[in-house]
Each structure stands twice: as structure tokens, then as C-alpha cells.
Amino acid sequence: MRLCETDDPAPANAYGAAKLDMERTIAGLPQDGLRHVILRVANVVGADSLGVALLDRTRPVTLDRFADGTGPRRSYVAPGDLARVFTALMHLPEGSLPDILNVAATHPVAMADLIRAAGQEPVWRDAPAGAQAYVSLDTARLDSLFPEVVGCNTPVQMIADWHRLEAPG
């Protein structure tokens, strides 16, 4: 499933419905000299449940394996790239700001590759019914606005960016 900013949202669960409600609330806010931009941000490396699992070296990192033998592929964004997107948005002229913007690396990555880039091996379990093998954000709009801002596109680059920002002092 590849999600574009112009797609009609169809939330699959309560979390998605709450996010859509939030977007509708933001879209309905008065402008009053402010310009609102809805950011649909991918999983941020290190800030999702995978990041938590990678930090806990006492337990294995478990991933779903689908019938075709692959694991989940998802859109991710490195934390440094996310900060650069925020900065770039602040410098766009008001008339150039989009209403909605997907924020992610250009291509989704295999979660197993993120685990390996962090120096671990995934432990596999059968994917439950209804699990999605592939979910990604279309970044054509982001790429056209800021062609050089998102620079971490591989699992190795993403994990390195996270570790660089997490390093003490």
C-alpha cells in the first residue's frame, strides 16, 4: 500500500481514525495570519517500537514473516532528516507551503534490514491475519519541494543518523 497526500483517507483502526480527526481539526482552524501544514510523518528511526526493541539488548527483536518469506517493509525517516524537513519548511514562502505533506525517505525499507544495520538479527514469527507486508508514503511532493533534504535512504544510513543523534554529549 503506497499512500499519497491526495488519497482519500480510509483509517484501518482507532489510531488512524484519531489521526484523521486531528487532520480535520487542523484543516478547520482559522488562518488568522498562520498557515497550517499537516505532516504525515513516517516511522522515525529510533522513535518507534522497533527502536525500543533495538535498545533492549536483553531480548530478541521479533518480526512478522509473511507467506512469501519476507518481513514488513515500511516508510521510515531518519531523525536528522526530519529536523532538516522542519527547517526547510520554515524557510518556504507562505504561498509555497502544501496543505498536507508526507515526510519519509524516498523508498520504504525492510525492517529486517534496519535490525541488521543495528547489529542484530531478527527473530521471525508468522504474520497474523490482516498484517500489512508493505506500507509506504509517497514522497513525490516532498522530493519536489526539497530534493536534497532527505539524505538517509538506506537502513545503514538511517541507523547511523539515529546513533549519531543519540550519542552522549
Residue 137 β-bridge partners: 3
Confidence band for 169, pLDDT divided at 50, 70 and 90: low
Query: Cell digits for 12?
Result: 484501518
Residue 167 pLDDT more than 90? no
Average pLDDT over residues 82-102: 92
Average pLDDT over residues 37-66: 93
Chain centre to alpha carbon of residue 50: 12
pLDDT for res 27: 87
Per-residue exposure over 86-99, b if at least 16 CB sit within 10 Å of its own CB, e if not: eeebeeeeeeeebe
- Residue labelled with grid coordinates 530478541: 60
How do beta strands 134-137 and 2-3 pair? parallel
Residue 5 pLDDT more than 70? yes
Top-confidence residue, 8 or 74: 74
pLDDT digits (tens, 9 = 90+) for 106-161: 999 999 999 999 999 999 999 999 899 999 999 999 999 999 899 999 999 999 99
Confidence band for 1, pLDDT divided at 50, 70 and 90: confident
pLDDT digits (tens, 9 = 90+) for 13-48: 898 899 999 999 998 888 777 788 899 999 999 999
What distance in Å separates the CA atoms of residue 109 and residue 106, rounded to the nearest whole number? 10
What are phi and psi for residue 100, nearest 5 degrees? Answer: -135, 140
Domains plus CATH for the chain?
A: 2-166 (3.40.50.720)
Average pLDDT over residues 103-108: 96
